[in-house]
Each structure stands twice: as C-alpha cells, then as structure tokens.
Chain A
Amino acid sequence: MSKPILELADVNVYYGAIHALKGVSLSVRQGEVVTLIGANGAGKTTTLATVCGLMRPRSGTVRYGGEDIGKVPTHQLVARGLVMAPEGRGIFPALTVEENLRLGAYARRDKPGIEKDLQHGFEIFPRLAERRRQRGGTLSGGEQQMLAIARALMSQPKLLLLDEPSLGLAPLIVQTIFETIDQVNKQGVTILLVEQNARIALKHSHRAYVIESGEISIEGESAALLDDPRVKAAYLGES
C-alpha cells in the first residue's frame, strides 16, 4: 500500500460560532481517487477549502506529503502541486479560454513545459481548442467544467481537488467529465473528489468517505459502499 499524500487528523473547522467540521480524519494515498460524498451543507466543500488553505482548522492537523500545511498559504500549496478546481468552476468570465489556462500555470516558470501542457490540455478537451479565443463566460456549463479541470492540470497537480464537477451538468456531459477524471488519474495524478452525485462518484473512485453534518460517518472501498444499505438508502435513492 502506498503512503498517504494527504492526511487529515481530527480536524475541526468553524465559521464563526458554527462548528462545520467536527473532528474529520481522512487520508488519500498516492495514485488513488478518493471521493467524499454527502448532502448539501454536510461539510464537503469546507473540507476541501481546509485542505487547500482557504479555511484554517481550529484544531487538528492537515498533512500533505507528510508535512503539516496548516499555516502554509494557498498560493504556495499550488506551487507544491496541491491544486483545486473549485465549486462553481471559478472561471474568469472576462478572460479567454487560453488566458484562463495560462493563469493555471501562474506558479510555473518553465515556458516550454507550459506550452506542452497547454497543447496536452487541448488534446484532452478538443472543445477548448476550438474555443481558445472565446471568453470563458460564453462557454456552456460543461465546457466551463472542462476548462476548470484543464486549468487545474496546467498547475501540474500531484493532488487534484475537485469540488462537485458534476454540478448542474447534463448526464451525458457528467459521463465525459468522469471519464476524463479517470484518464487524469491514470496519468499519475491523485484525486480527492467531492460529489453530491454519489453513484457516479463511487463508480469512478477507489475509496470513499461519507460526511454527515461535519462528521465522517462511513468509509470504505467505493465498490463496497455502492452495496452498503445505508449508502443506498441515503445517497443512491434506493431502499
């Protein structure tokens, strides 16, 4: 079993008086796709925000590559390969597709590498190549999600955090996005994925955690969770 690239131990996060994460512990190992599923407001996005330094834990530790990153600013984490494609995609609407992608490579200085990755991104998402001079705001939801993922890849992630990549997308597009996620993972990127769409997330991940009102309630192999009666009842719409 490979060593964990990310480890959260007993993490507590507050929004003012609201206790959003109550002692969350989870780990992601090198090369895995791990998904965190849960209902609205369960703490999924807060978990990701805490991992990438947008929120700070009041107690507990977040370790990335074995190192405590509780005080490391977000922009330095990006340079170290901890990259997030945010919920709502975070596209810069007034900038072109290409400008958006190049901002993804902001922390990098290797010009030839950036050009190569730009071409690589266009190969993965030919739609983005067609629209490279178009403004980000004019893209459809699915295209914006592709752009968000392609842009995150421009940062050369070692660990990629994806926040609700299926949000607001048609089923067919969701399928495409998840196939891309598999592909990215096969190229060696570890992925922590947050999803409300539990079925597809479990199908496209190795392991999963279920979060309920700020606490991890179930964890296990994704395949096993697909058959777990509690998961079936609460998140897969089966009884």
Chain B
Amino acid sequence: MQILLDNADFASRMLQQVANGLTKGSVYALVAVGYTMVYGVLALINFAHSDVYMLGAYFAYYPARWLGYMPDTAEKPKAPFWLMGMAFLGAMAACAFIGALIERLAYRPLRNASRLAALITAIGVSIFLQNVGQMAFGADPKSFPRYVDQSSVNLGVISVGNTSILIIVVAFLMMAALHLFVQKTRTGAAMRACAHDMKTARLMGINVDATISITFALGSAMAAVGGILVAMDQPRLTPTMGLLMGLKAFVAAVLGGIGSIPGAALGGILLGVAESLVGGLWDTTYAEAVSFVVLIVVLLVKPSGLLGRAGREKV
C-alpha cells in the first residue's frame, strides 16, 4: 500500500515537472526559431538574438510605467487588457525593426566575408546591446508590470500557474502561425528558397536582401513575445536576462536540427522537459547543466539534430 502511494506521489511529481518543463520549453522554442531561421538562411548564429529577447521584455515594461502602472510606493495597479495587447504588438514591431536593423548594419556588409568574421560580429552586437541596455534601462533589476494576476489552476493531481498556460498557448499559436507562414505564403516560399540556395533564389526573381530582412524581423518578433511571456511569469528584468535564455534556445535549435522550424519547437520542448525532470526529481543544481550535456551529446551523436537536414545535397 505504501509503495502504491509512493508511486502515485512519484507519478504526480513527474507530471508536475513535465508541465513545468512544457512551460519553460515553449519559451525556449519561441526563441529557438529565431536562431534556426537565421541559421537556415545565412548559416550564421545570431548571438544578438537573445538580447532582442531582452529588449522585448523592456519594451513591454516602459509603456505601463509611463502610463502610471508602476508607482514607486503603492501597490502596483493592474494594467488594463488593451495595454497588454499594445505592449505585445508594440514590442513585437519594435524588435522586428531592431532585428532587421542589426542585419542591415552589422551582418549585411559581411555577407561575403568569412563566417568567422560574421560570428565574431554577432558576439560583438550582443555585447553592444547588453551594454546599451544597461545604459538605457539601468543595471538594477526592474519588476514587470501587472498585466496578469498570477494564480494557479488545479488540473487533478497537478497545479499549474495561469501564466504557464498562457505561455504554452501563446507560444504554440505563434509557432503554428509561423509554420503556416513559411509553408504557405509567397514570402515563406522565398525564405525557403533562400535557405536552400541564395544564388538560385535570386535567379527566380526573389529579392534576397528583403527576404533576409523579413527573416530577421520574424525571428525577432518571436523573441519579443518570448521575453514578455517570461517576464509575466517571472517579473524581473535585467539587461543580461537574455544570456542564459539565448544559450538554452541555441541548444534547443541544435537539438531539433538547426535550420528546421519544427525542429526548434521540438528541441525547445524536449530541453525544457528534460531540465525540469532533472531539476525536480534529482537536483535543481544539475538542471542548468542539462542543456550543455544535451549540446555535447547531440554534436557527438547526431550533429544534424532530430529533424535537421544532414549536410547539403550535391546536385
């Protein structure tokens, strides 16, 4: 009897961790698609992507503060729903613009340079954005506005936060929309063509430069959503909040097969669940190490990732 009870307890703990992992993983996935789309087209790891994620959270913070929803003394009043909608859309638009601008200013001049030069530039842009963030926003943590009131929802043996459900639902919808966009629209077809072969894409009449700008803009908008969702769940903003997220999302993209959007989604979810299970059932100290172990194992065993294309086919 005792064993049965223990097992039931264990099972519910497992389920709880899976739910937590899905939440984390959804955000990893949202950020990972940005890495994977840019890599797919330019074979570049855009290290600045994680800082666009950070900017997204800050861009959703300031409107609420300017409108008086962040008083210094009193209890924070709840921000209205329309403001949350505006914060999402505004941050997405601003990040899309910044993402495209980064490409235009930092990466496009290096399009024909060595890949190493572009990679080092990406690291440089990332450091630049973090420091601009510290100058503009201050290095001290900011607490996020009350766009939603956190509560928990009981689902039988487990309970999940309402923000968790929001994260999972929004992330899923965003990725489904992105997938449809890439697969079904004319611009999506241009993105896929550029990912396969940029020179031939040009010969098809595709404006390659514009397509690359759109790729950066879309990935950055997704990162902005990720940043806001995380800030709703853990309302603490710092200019370096992108660092660890960027690392995890990058691992998720590699795990799923860098260049593949469904791969990034799958990789993100798997990584999130794996982290939560290790953290919840074993030791939270080891949870942070999971992604690095995953990265090493993937690169050793299957560098093309779960859903990635293995190498380039020779025609």
Interface residues of A, Cβ cutoff 8 Å to B = 52, 54, 73-75, 78-79, 83-84, 86, 88-95, 99, 102-104, 106-107, 137, 144, 151, 155
Contact = CB atoms under 8 A, between A and B. Distances in A.
Contact of A95 (B196, B199, B203): B196
A136 to B, nearest CB: 8
Contacts of A75: 202, 204-208
Interface centre among A54, A84, A89, A93 (most CB of B within 10 A): A93
B313 A90 contact: no
Instruction: Report the 10 A-B pairs with minimum CB-CB distance, sorted nearest first.
Output: A107-B205, A78-B205, A90-B200, A93-B313, A74-B202, A92-B196, A75-B207, A106-B204, A103-B204, A75-B205
20 contacts: A54-B199, A54-B203, A74-B203, A75-B205, A75-B207, A83-B203, A88-B315, A89-B315, A90-B200, A90-B203, A91-B315, A92-B193, A94-B313, A95-B192, A95-B196, A99-B189, A103-B204, A106-B205, A106-B206, A155-B204
A132 B190 CA distance: 20
A74 B313 CA distance: 25
A144 B313 CA distance: 14
Interface in B146-202: 186, 189-190, 192-193, 196-197, 199-202
Contact of A103 (B189, B199, B208): B189
Nearest to B192: A95
Contact of B186 (A54, A104, A106): A106
A95 B315 CA distance: 13
A94 B196 contact: yes
Nearest to B314: A93
Given A52-B203, A74-B203, A94-B196, 8 more contacts: A74-B202, A75-B207, A78-B203, A79-B205, A93-B315, A103-B189, A103-B193, A107-B204
B281 to A, nearest CB: 40
Interface of B: 186, 189-190, 192-193, 196-197, 199-208, 309, 313, 315
Contacts of A107: 204-205
A102 B309 CA distance: 22
Nearest to A151: B204
Contact of B200 (A92, A102, A137): A92
Contacts of B192: 95
A90 B199 contact: yes
B203 A86 contact: yes
Contacts of A94: 196, 309, 313
A78 B204 contact: yes
A93 B196 CA distance: 8
A75 B207 CA distance: 6
Nearest to B309: A94
Nearest to B312: A93
A73 B189 CA distance: 20
Contact of A73 (B197, B199, B207, B309): B207
Contacts of B193: 92, 95, 103, 106
A78 B192 CA distance: 19
Contacts of B201: 103
A151 B119 CA distance: 35
A86 B201 CA distance: 11
B206 to A, nearest CB: 6
A104 B201 CA distance: 9
Contact of A137 (B202, B203, B204, B315): B315
Given A52-B203, A92-B196, A93-B196, A106 B313 contact: no
A78 B207 CA distance: 10
A155 B199 contact: no
Given A74-B203, A84-B203, A103-B204, A90 B189 contact: no
Contacts of B205: 75, 78-79, 106-107, 155
Contacts of A54: 199, 202-203
B1 to A, nearest CB: 57
A38 B115 CA distance: 34
A54 B313 CA distance: 23
B36 to A, nearest CB: 16
A155 B201 CA distance: 12
Nearest to B210: A75
B199 A86 contact: yes
